[in-house]
Structure 1
Amino acid sequence: MVRGIRGATTVKEDREDEILKETEYMVQQLVKENEVNPEDVAQVLITVTDDISSTFPAKALRRFPEWKYVPVMCAREIAVPNSLEKCIRIMVTVNSQTPQEQINHIYLNNAVQLRPDLLLTDEAKKV
């Protein structure tokens, strides 16, 4: 079965080190909470808001050697007025036998406001 696992986080500043650190942490949590094996990942789509431009968040996934062959793409988020600033969103398409309602979507930092109904744990609620 193919499943989509969502995640989002925010950064305080548009700095490469912060973008990579927050993206890496988000992916680590997503992998841990959903027991994701890179061999089961079909693709990863990462979007950023217009105020993030100092690096590609996909670089963070290249820090995981076992993710070397996972296709990753970055894109711009739609610029909706009054939307969350400095936000990085991720969609991981994965083969999984986990039922849809048991998928653990990861929302961190200010992104917790995007889907409070899907928040997982106190750790995932860090603001």
Structure 2
Amino acid sequence: MIRGVRGATTVNRNNGEEIVDKAHELMIDVINQNRIKPENVTSVLFTVTEDLNAAFPAKSLRLLEGWTYVPVMCMREIPVPQSLSKCIRVMVTVETSLDQLEVNHVYHYNATVLRPDLKK
């Protein structure tokens, strides 16, 4: 079955190193909590809020062994008034045997407010 696995994190400032580090940390948790293998991934889409432009969060995937050929893109989030700032979101489209209720969507730092219904 093809599933979408979501995640989000926040950074403290628009700094390239922090953006890549926090995206990397997020991806490690998304991968581990959902037993994702790169060869089963269709694509990875990152978005960032308009206040982040110091680095592509997709660079974080290139730090992971085996993820060299996984298609990845970065986009800008819709600038909705009063929305969470300094936020990086990800959608991993993956072939998995997990049922929809077994998928672990991962939210770090201030991004936990985005989906309080998923807190375990």
Instruction: Provide the TM-score with structure 1 as the length reference.
Output: 0.93
Matched-pair identity in %: 50
- 5+ unaligned residues in a row in structure 1: which ranges? 121-127
CA distance in structure 2 between the aligned counterparts of 1:17 and 1:26, rounded to whole angstroms: 14
SS in 2 for 1:5: strand
Runs of 4+ in 1 over 2 A off after TM superposition: none
Structure 2 Cα separation of the partners of residues 69 and 17 of structure 1: 23
Give the equivalent residue in structure 2 for 1:64. 64
Which sections of structure 2, spanning at least 5 residues, go unmatched?
none
Q: Taking structure 2 as the reference length, what is the TM-score of the superposition?
A: 0.98
**Offset at residue 117 of structure 1 (A):** 1.2
Is the aligned partner of 1:73 residue 2:58?
no
CA–CA distance in 1 between the matches of 2:117 and 2:82? 21
Offset from partner CA, 1:81-100 (integer Å, 9 cap, x none):
00000000000000011000
One-letter amino acid of the structure 2 residue matched with residue 35 of structure 1:
R
1:119 deviates by 2.6
Aligned pair count reads 120
Q: CA RMSD in A?
A: 0.6
Equivalent-residue separation in structure 1 for 2:110 and 2:19 (angstroms): 14
- Provide the C-alpha distance between the structure 2 equivalents of 1:36 and 1:70, rounded to a whole number of angstroms: 12
